[in-house]
Amino acid sequence: MDDFPERAFIPDQPNPIATDAPGSVTEMPSPSFIGHIHICTDVNYQAMVDFYVALFNGEVTAVNPGNPMTFITYDEYDHRVVVMYKEGWGTKPENPVGYSHLAFGYRSLGEVVFIYKRMKEWGYKPHWTVNHGNSTSFYYQDPDGNDVETMVDNYPPVITKSYKKNYQFSEDFGPMPDGNFDPDKMVELYEQGVPDTVLLDRNQVKRLKAEGKL
Ligand SMILES: [Fe+2]
């Protein structure tokens, strides 16, 4: 919304993007998108904000100074991730229950590779890079040790869903770590012009690894 004027204002009235008349919702709705994520942090508050702003090429839309929390977005929505300061909460335990990781999807391998290069320059290195079959994924850790995945689907969504349902954990698929790859070699192959149809193909990844190229 580049043409939307940035100003202090109270909107005249709510103007939602959709309305449903009473009685017109007749089935249990599924979400239309994941709205946002709140992350509690303590000693790493500022480092956490810096990490997510860097990762998202994001924008801070608001800071609540009284109860410190920073609202960060990467698109037209007002917030996608909130980093909340919780004094005295300490650090993340070693084996916490709860979310294992957050995954953020990107349009292309080129975008995920670009992010890798920038993040590396800024001192954030992924701890796992893998072709899952359905996706090609780079896993980082935020300063508190929460896993954050940047990923590109290897196929269009419907095909990826079918791959997941029918193939991914079959005997033919093989152990997941077979899809691990060296991110720097991935950058090299990508920049040499090896096409995405090869670099996103789990079997090709295995072959390139066997040849010492990935
Ligand atoms: Fe994931």
E strands, the chain, where?
A: 37-41, 59-64, 69-73, 81-85, 101-105, 128-131, 135-141, 147-153
- CB count within 10 Å of CB 113 equals 22
> Which stretch of 3-12, 151-160, 190-199 has the lowest confidence by average pLDDT?
3-12
Same-domain pairing of 105 and 72: no
Residues of the domain holding 116:
101-214
Indicate which CATH number applies to the domain containing 208: 3.30.720.110
Specify whether 208 is located in the same domain as 123: yes
Average pLDDT rounded to a whole number, residues 145-166 = 96
The residue with greater pLDDT, 8 or 145, is 145
Any domain includes 132: yes
Nearest by Cα to 207 from 139, 138, 137, 131: 131
Look at residue 105 in the predicted model and tell me its pLDDT: 97
Instruction: Look at residue 197 and give its three-state secondary structure.
Output: helix
**CB hemisphere CA count around 33 (13 angstroms):** 7
Residue 4 is assigned to a structural domain of this protein = no
Report CA(194)–ligand 1 centroid distance (Å): 25
Q: Could you tell me the two tokens for 139?
A: 């896993």
Do residues 41 and 84 touch, judged by C-beta distance below 8 A? yes
Lowest mean pLDDT among 2-6, 71-75, 166-170: 2-6
Q: Which residues pair with 62 in a beta bridge?
A: 71
CA of 132 from ligand 1 middle (Å) equals 9
Dist. CA 50 → ligand 1 center (Å)? 22
Q: What is the pLDDT of residues 62-117, one digit of tens each?
A: 999 888 999 999 999 999 999 999 999 999 999 999 999 999 999 999 999 999 99
Tell me if the pTM is above 0.85: yes
Domain-located, residue 163? yes
Q: Give the Å distance between the CA of 4 and the centre of ligand 1.
A: 35
The count of structural domains within the chain is 2
Q: Which of 153, 162, 213 is nearest to 188 (CA)?
A: 213
